[in-house]
């Protein structure tokens, strides 16, 4: 991750000769990155806490892998900012938790505390209040190594695993990603296994005496009555009960946790934190590295790694320039004195990338009978989840599975976003009816069944909106829920109307559209959950409402379009900072830099509103054509994907590849009408 965004040169590149040529070059570039098996898979880049935590995992499990450790250290050191910190995204403010974790990993790997870069990191940490300013999850990582007492972490009784689904609080009230971490954390925080590293501490990161450190929860305010303070008092009571050995149902709960972890890791290639905690939980229960579930999860995490000879991160993971053979489940051992750099991805996105790239290529003019896309489609058909009834069924019982997930393998967590885009492709590709009938029917039925009571659609679960959970001390990241969002709801509506030709008067569409219009911001924009931020949400809302064409939504759409116009950059493009989430309002990128993916979203917003012939749409399209590289690609350094608003952002290396092509294709289609 570069620490700062590059300011574009004042002299723009020469524009493509015309829109048609630009699209052809874009499609050719997409196909140049296609895997022989038919899929697309682009790199996911996030902050360096993920890299640091893999080093922690090696030390916790006593795995001697100096080559990987030093390779990751090279990446971490290269991304340190001038003020000594590590941030959540380029040009973001330094993040204390991420900086402490990077410092800790580097020190574990043998770097001396007087090393110039560690000294700078230490100065930054102390200037921000020291190590006690870390978030809850980072505290847990310290406790795992005996660097702090477990009492500075929130108490999570393992008996939570026994709470029935009808109980006010149970594991299924948490989002899928939180649940996947919470279940193993119940084990970790019950067992409290400590891996002590000889002579290792972080005392130099305290502003005062470590014994007198104040580890008060950030949400605590003893002068007022609040839900947050009530939970803090409950946490204290749980700690008292813990000291008194009052742990009802402990053994049964631990067995249930273990079964859940094994079941989900065996059929899941999930996000890094869930696999990380799952491994540690099984280790805490006494299972070794020869345990088949631990072995599979470790191989899965290693398969996320990208190996480079320099510091330039590959945009396509399987195009590995190192001397090692890349394989999705194994990396062969190499010389530990290698000078290669290693990057640990937080997740992998082949289904997501494949569906978007294929749809973009088709909309831009690729033949629906192209053998390359036929191979793509059949690869995706094999990824449909048809047998495993995942966690989604707890609140949506009796529904036959039929969705798609984000990764190569994730049987338990299909999501609506991926399912929408794969189904879009299935409606466009030229395959025999008998091959598509069942997958389309199963996928569409599953998608429609996931509508929430409020009319909206969420990512992984249905009616996952118990707000009280985000008040827990454990939830200082505020990402324990998966509520319905404007962006996913908008994508469902647009797909149903434009692709499936669903009746516009259908109740499912009316309820979804009302959900969207009720959530318009005062400035006319819409908040986006899974892309940065108001640009992403507004694009999805405009495409949905434009497809529906209700008279009652005209003012809503006009206000959204006016907002788009008001934030469009002078160069015709769009660019929004991740800081929009922290500020709860639109924030441009530094120097009003435009990005390829966000300009594509803005352009698709105009097209969705029926304004392809507007001067603003033309300016956005001209920006994309002008900034296209000779090979048909676009450049983009900014993080425009959202993991957890305010805490975790992603630079999808594929976004600058397929979204501009898709946007220009939609623009061309509307102009030709």
Strands 641-644 and 648-652: antiparallel
Low pLDDT (below 50) residues in the chain: 10-16, 219-241, 244, 246, 321-335
Checking 315-323 for CB contacts under 8 A at 24+ apart, the result is 315/33, 315/42, 315/43, 315/653, 315/654, 315/657, 316/33, 316/41, 316/42, 316/43, 316/653, 317/41, 317/42, 317/43, 317/345, 317/348, 318/35, 318/41
Helices 554-567 and 534-548: angle between axes, nearest 10 degrees: 150
Evaluate whether residue 642 is within a structural domain.
no
Evaluate whether residue 356 is within a structural domain.
no
Q: What is the pLDDT of residue 122?
A: 98
**How big is the chain by its Cα radius of gyration, in Å?**
25
User: Which tokens is 497 given?
Assistant: 């109307």
Q: What is the pLDDT of residue 434?
A: 95
Q: What is the pLDDT of residue 479?
A: 75
**Segments forming the whole domain that contains residue 51:** 45-199+219-344
Rounded CA separation 310/125 (Å): 29
Checking 306-311 for CB contacts under 8 A at 24+ apart, the result is 306/43, 306/342, 306/343, 306/345, 307/71, 307/331, 307/340, 307/341, 307/342, 308/340, 308/341, 308/342, 308/343, 309/339, 309/340, 309/341, 310/341, 311/74, 311/75, 311/78, 311/341
11-54 tens-digit pLDDT: 444 444 599 999 999 999 999 999 999 999 999 999 999 999 99
Strands 44-45 and 648-652: antiparallel
DSSP lists the bridge partners of residue 589 as none
User: Which tokens is 383 given?
Assistant: 């990824």
Q: What is the pLDDT of residue 373?
A: 98
Q: What is the pLDDT of residue 216?
A: 82
SS3 341: strand
**Count of residues making up the chain:** 673
Q: What is the pLDDT of residue 136?
A: 86
Evaluate whether residue 313 is within a structural domain.
yes
Number of domains in the chain: 1
Q: What is the pLDDT of residue 242?
A: 53
User: Which tokens is 278 given?
Assistant: 């799952």
Evaluate whether residue 472 is within a structural domain.
no
- Which helix (H) or strand (E) element contains residue 308? strand 305-308
Evaluate whether residue 285 is within a structural domain.
yes
User: Could you tell me the end-to-end alpha-carbon distance of the chain, in angstroms, rounded to an integer?
Assistant: 42
CB atoms within 10 A of CB 32: 11
Q: What is the pLDDT of residue 478?
A: 63
What count of Cα atoms within 13 Å lies in the side-chain half-sphere of residue 248? 4
User: Which tokens is 35 given?
Assistant: 């895997």
**Sign, Cα dihedral of 552, 553, 554, 559:** positive
Burial class (CB in 10 A: 0-12, 13-18, 19+), 209: exposed
User: Which tokens is 272 given?
Assistant: 């890094």
Evaluate whether residue 208 is within a structural domain.
no
Q: What is the pLDDT of residue 313?
A: 86
Report the Cα 40 to chain-centroid distance in Å.
18
- Which helix (H) or strand (E) element contains residue 138? helix 136-144
Strands 44-45 and 330-331: unpaired
Q: What is the pLDDT of residue 473?
A: 58
Return the CATH number at 72: 1.50.10.20
Rounded CA separation 47/75 (Å): 11
Residues marked as catalytic: 417
Rounded CA separation 426/414 (Å): 17
Evaluate whether residue 151 is within a structural domain.
yes
String of DSSP letters for 536-576: HHHHHHHHHHHHH--GGGHHHHHHHHHHHHHH--TTS-B-B
277-327 tens-digit pLDDT: 999 999 999 999 999 999 999 999 999 999 988 778 888 887 654 444 433
Evaluate whether residue 172 is within a structural domain.
yes
Rounded CA separation 197/62 (Å): 10
Burial class (CB in 10 A: 0-12, 13-18, 19+), 202: buried
Q: Minimal CA–CA distance to 510: which of 488, 527, 485, 493?
A: 493
User: Which tokens is 58 given?
Assistant: 């090696």
């Amino acid at each position: 991750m570069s620490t700062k965004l590059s300011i574009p040169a004042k002299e723009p590149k020469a524009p493509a000769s015309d829109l048609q040529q630009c699209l052809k070059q874009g499609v050719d570039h997409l196909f140049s990155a296609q895997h022989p098996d038919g899929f697309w898979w682009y790199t996911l880049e996030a902050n360096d806490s993920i890299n640091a935590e893999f080093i922690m995992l090696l030390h916790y499990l006593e795995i001697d892998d100096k080559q990987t450790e030093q390779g990751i250290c090279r990446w971490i050191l290269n991304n340190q900012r001038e003020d000594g910190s590590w941030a959540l995204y380029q040009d973001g403010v330094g993040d204390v938790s991420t900086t402490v974790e990077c410092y800790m990993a580097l020190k574990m790997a043998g770097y001396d505390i007087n090393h110039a870069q560690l000294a700078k990191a230490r100065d930054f940490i102390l200037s921000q209040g020291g190590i006690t300013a870390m978030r809850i999850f980072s505290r847990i990582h310290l406790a795992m190594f005996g660097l702090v007492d477990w009492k500075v972490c929130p108490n999570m009784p393992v008996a939570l695993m026994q709470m029935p689904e009808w109980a006010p609080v149970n594991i299924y009230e948490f989002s899928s990603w939180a649940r996947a971490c919470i279940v193993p954390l119940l084990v970790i925080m019950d067992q409290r296994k400590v891996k002590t590293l000889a002579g290792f501490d972080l005392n130099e990161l305290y502003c005062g005496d470590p014994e007198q450190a104040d580890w008060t929860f950030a949400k605590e305010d003893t002068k007022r009555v609040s839900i947050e303070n009530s939970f803090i008092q409950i946490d204290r009571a749980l700690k008292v009960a813990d000291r008194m050995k009052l742990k009802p149902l402990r053994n049964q709960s631990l067995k249930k946790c273990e079964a859940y972890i094994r079941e989900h890791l065996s059929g899941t290639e999930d996000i890094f934190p869930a696999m990380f905690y799952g491994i540690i939980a099984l280790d805490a229960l006494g299972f070794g590295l020869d345990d088949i579930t631990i072995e599979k999860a470790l191989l899965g995490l290693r398969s996320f790694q990208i190996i480079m000879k320099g510091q330039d991160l590959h945009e396509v993971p399987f195009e590995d320039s190192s001397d090692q053979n890349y394989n999705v489940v194994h990396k062969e051992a190499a010389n530990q004195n290698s000078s290669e750099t290693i990057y640990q991805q937080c997740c992998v996105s082949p289904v997501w990338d494949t569906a978007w790239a294929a749809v973009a290529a088709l909309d831009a003019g690729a033949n629906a009978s192209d053998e390359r896309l036929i191979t793509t489609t059949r690869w995706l058909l094999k990824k449909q989840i048809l047998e495993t009834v995942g966690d989604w069924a707890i609140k949506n019982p009796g529904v036959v599975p039929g969705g798609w997930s984000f990764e190569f393998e994730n049987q338990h967590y299909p999501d609506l976003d991926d399912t929408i885009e794969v189904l879009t492709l299935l409606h466009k590709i030229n395959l025999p009816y008998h091959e598509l009938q069942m997958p389309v029917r199963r996928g569409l039925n599953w998608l429609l069944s996931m509508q929430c009571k409020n009319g909206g659609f969420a990512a992984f679960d249905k009616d996952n909106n118990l707000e009280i959970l985000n008040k827990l001390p454990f939830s200082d990241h505020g990402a324990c829920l998966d509520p319905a969002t404007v962006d996913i709801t908008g994508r469902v509506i647009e797909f149903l109307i434009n692709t499936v030709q669903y009746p516009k008067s259908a109740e499912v569409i009316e309820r979804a559209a009302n959900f969207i219009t009720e959530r318009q911001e005062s400035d006319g924009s819409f908040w986006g959950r899974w892309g940065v931020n108001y640009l992403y949400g507004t694009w999805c809302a405009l495409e949905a409402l434009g497809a529906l064409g209700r008279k009652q939504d005209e003012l809503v759409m006009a206000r959204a379009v006016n907002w788009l116009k008001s934030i469009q950059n002078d160069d015709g493009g769009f660019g929004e900072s991740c800081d929009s989430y922290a500020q709860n309002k639109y924030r441009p990128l530094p120097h009003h830099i435009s990005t390829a993916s966000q300009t594509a979203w803005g352009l698709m917003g105009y097209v969705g509103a029926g304004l392809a012939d507007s001067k603003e749409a033309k300016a956005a399209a001209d920006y994309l054509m002008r900034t296209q590289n000779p090979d048909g690609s676009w450049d983009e350094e900014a993080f425009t994907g959202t993991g957890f608003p305010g805490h975790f952002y992603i630079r999808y290396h594929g976004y600058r590849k397929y979204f501009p092509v898709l946007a220009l294709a939609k623009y061309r289609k509307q102009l030709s009408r």
